[in-house]
Amino acid sequence: MNPGDGRLCERLQDVCTGVAPRLPDGGLRDAVEASLRRLADPKLRIAVGGRLNAGKSTLVNALLGTRLAPTDATECTLLAAWFRYHHRSQVAVHFIDGSTEYVAARPGGGVPASLPFDHHSVTHLTVQAPVAGIDDEYLLIDTPGRDALSGLDDYSMGAIREADGLIFVMHDPGEVELRALEEFRGAVAGARLSAGNVLGVLSRIDTIADHLAPALRRAEAGAIAARTSARLRGLVSTIVPVANRLAQAARCATVTEAHAAAVVELAAADPAGRRRLFFDDDMFLDASVGVARPVRAELLSLLGRYGIEEAVAAVDAGARGATAIRAALLAVSGLPELQTLISERFVRNADALRADGVLALLERALAAGPPPTGGAPRELADAVHRLRRDPALRAAQLAEVATAYAAGDLPLDDDMALDLHHLLTGVTVAQRLGLPDADADALRAEADRRITRWQTAESELPRRSKRLARTVIEVLNQLWFGLEGTR
């Protein structure tokens, strides 16, 4: 069965529709009605979060393929923005009291610079634009950053809790960013976000090792991302280096034929002249070359020196014209790799991710009230328990295990931590067992080894951790029996 076929969400919708009219007024009925509203929207929700100036909105524009998110600091960058297709360009303003008003989009479409309302009364914006494909596979949510350490205050966290997955954008994965992620993990502990549905993006790779050629910078960014991924195992599935500005320029077609002609002219400079060109911004603007200074300033604003170097390298490799140069920039930006991961980790598992979020909402509401002893509350509790045990949700159950490990509450050795990471981030059975090229016999043997490893460890774990270990064992058993059926 296709993991994204909607079966779980349909079953959940049937359950909530059946019990809603029979529940008394109160928190549980409110949660069921909120669940029905969420299930009525079939779109997977992916939030883009991170600290202030991490490059979130630039990445959002690159993923949308059009410049709808504001990249300059304005009043509206304090608000979360959702992006949907509509035949008319407009912005829906959603208020705390549940009402909605529509305002004109900015010229060209997208979030306006300001609103005729107090932004403290607004929950979020929905940016609607006549751009085909912007919400075909998922809805993007651009969340605001803050100057606070985590950059994710209560408002931003509220937006992220509405999402089924998260792309966490980090400018420089140093200690501040790591602490930000730790704070983020604590703040969204109830949102069931973990390595199972969190991707990291190392943005602005153009600022890394500024003295190196672009290809070497990309290699250095990849090494930094790999090291940080290992440090954040349990919190983040993987970290992808993305040159956000290049990705935006390439995907949003802001590199024109005039820019392409200028790049060809720059590429004709002799080697010594090129070195002077790319030494710093001032030398790039002041150098004696055939490209007018205003055009060079425009290129610098659009691509930065790093992007211009990449464009020149594309011309050296034979690219001519804006279309070819944009394609070359996109190929080296890192965005295609991120898009592949979004498809594999999020879109493929959309049904389970959406159902897991709704189940978590219902479980919180059930836990907040008196134990259900009969009637509709008992019926709802039983249905939630049955759905939670569905094999398609096993991977989602691993989120709790990953969160406990990342918080230091579940002691795992390196082999077990790697087992958990493979189970969370693998797409195929072979990837989930850490042997992507193995045959069925080798996979069965590996699953059996891992089951034994976790069963042995379970006996030595603290009592509060045994249940988490059993979750992993159940997932491994499920994989083993699936492989056994292939004999």
| CATH code of the domain occupying 1-65+138-243+334-409 | 3.40.50.300
Q: What is the mean pLDDT of residues 346-359?
A: 89
Q: What pLDDT, on the 0 to 100 scale, is given for residue 174?
A: 65
In angstroms, rounded to a whole number, what is the distance separating the alpha carbons of residues 192 and 266?
50
Lowest-confidence region among 74-83, 154-163, 241-250, 291-300: 154-163
Q: What is the mean pLDDT of residues 70-82?
A: 74
In the chain, the percentage of residues whose pLDDT exceeds 70 is 89
Lowest-confidence region among 94-103, 215-224, 280-289, 438-447: 280-289
Contact yes or no for 44/129 (Cβ under 8 A): no
Contact yes or no for 42/410 (Cβ under 8 A): no
In the chain, the percentage of residues whose pLDDT exceeds 90 is 39
Q: Give the containing element (helix H, strand E) for 414.
A: helix 414-425
Burial bucket for residue 1 (CB in 10 Å: 0-12, 13-18, 19+): exposed
383 pLDDT higher than 60? yes
3 pLDDT higher than 60? no
2 pLDDT higher than 50? no
In angstroms, rounded to a whole number, what is the distance separating the alpha carbons of residues 466 and 473?
10
Q: What pLDDT, on the 0 to 100 scale, is given for residue 141?
A: 92
- Beginning with the edge strand found earlier in the chain, give each strand of the sheet holding 44-50 in spatial order: 100-104, 90-95, 122-129, 81-85, 138-142, 44-50, 165-170, 198-203, 239-242
Choose from 67-76, 118-127, 451-460 the range with maximum mean pLDDT. 451-460
In the chain, ranges of CATH 3.40.50.300 domains = 1-65+138-243+334-409
β-bridge partners, 102: 92
Lowest-confidence region among 56-70, 172-186, 382-396: 172-186
- The token duo for 87 is 């035949």
Contact yes or no for 196/423 (Cβ under 8 A): no
Lowest-confidence region among 102-111, 206-215, 251-260: 206-215
pLDDT band at residue 310 using 50, 70 and 90 as cut-offs: very high
Please name the residues in contact with 365: beta carbons below 8 A apart, sequence gap of 6 or more: 27, 28, 30, 31, 32
Please name the residues in contact with 371: beta carbons below 8 A apart, sequence gap of 6 or more: none
Residue in this structure with the two tokens 């890192």, named with its chain if needed: 334
- The token duo for 378 is 């008992």
Q: Rounded to the nearest 10 degrees, what angle do helices 463-484 and 394-406 cross at?
A: 140
In angstroms, rounded to a whole number, what is the distance separating the alpha carbons of residues 402 and 421?
8
The values of phi and psi at residue 460, to 5°, are -105, -5
Q: What is the pTM of this model?
A: 0.85
Contact yes or no for 309/281 (Cβ under 8 A): no
Closest among 324, 304, 315 to 246, alpha carbons compared: 304
Lowest-confidence region among 197-211, 348-362, 412-426, 437-451: 197-211
Q: What is the mean pLDDT of residues 408-425?
A: 87
